[in-house]
Amino acid sequence: MSIVIEIMLVVLLAVGSAFVLVGAFGLVRLSEFFKRLHGPTKASTLGVGCLLVASVSYHTFIGSDPQPRELLITAFLFITAPISAFMMAKAGLSLRMDDMPQLPGRAEDTHVPERPDHAPDERE
């Protein structure tokens, strides 16, 4: 295998790993539902996609047969991940998840302002 192909594979693996790492941090550290939804869905599509493309490329360049399972996983990932993210966002909007209190995240994001025990009467 030539050095150019090896560098390309290393770049694909590094980019894919970086996207997966950023998506995992986004899932853990972000505080709102829609923010937590955004990070992992982008990471799964781009990160795992890069890792699978690197794997398919590696098997192709070393002379073994390309793995049809990896090609199918890549195709289904690129088709289903954006659709599932859209459906979760649509469900969150219909359940009014933006009105919910924030999920635990970073320490500075967990402070919820105090609300009065009762809402003011609008007739007054």
Q: What is the pTM of this model?
A: 0.65
Instruction: For residues 52 and 81, give the distance between their C-alpha atoms in angstroms, rounded to a whole number.
Output: 15
Instruction: For residues 34 and 85, give the distance between their C-alpha atoms in angstroms, rounded to a whole number.
Output: 10
CA distances to 3, 46, 64 from 81, rounded to whole Å, are 33, 10, 29
pLDDT of residue 9: 93
pLDDT band at 119 (very low <50, low <70, confident <90, very high): low
Listed in sequence order, the residues at least 6 apart from 2 whose beta carbon sits closer than 8 Å to its beta carbon are none
Listed in sequence order, the residues at least 6 apart from 5 whose beta carbon sits closer than 8 Å to its beta carbon are 57, 61
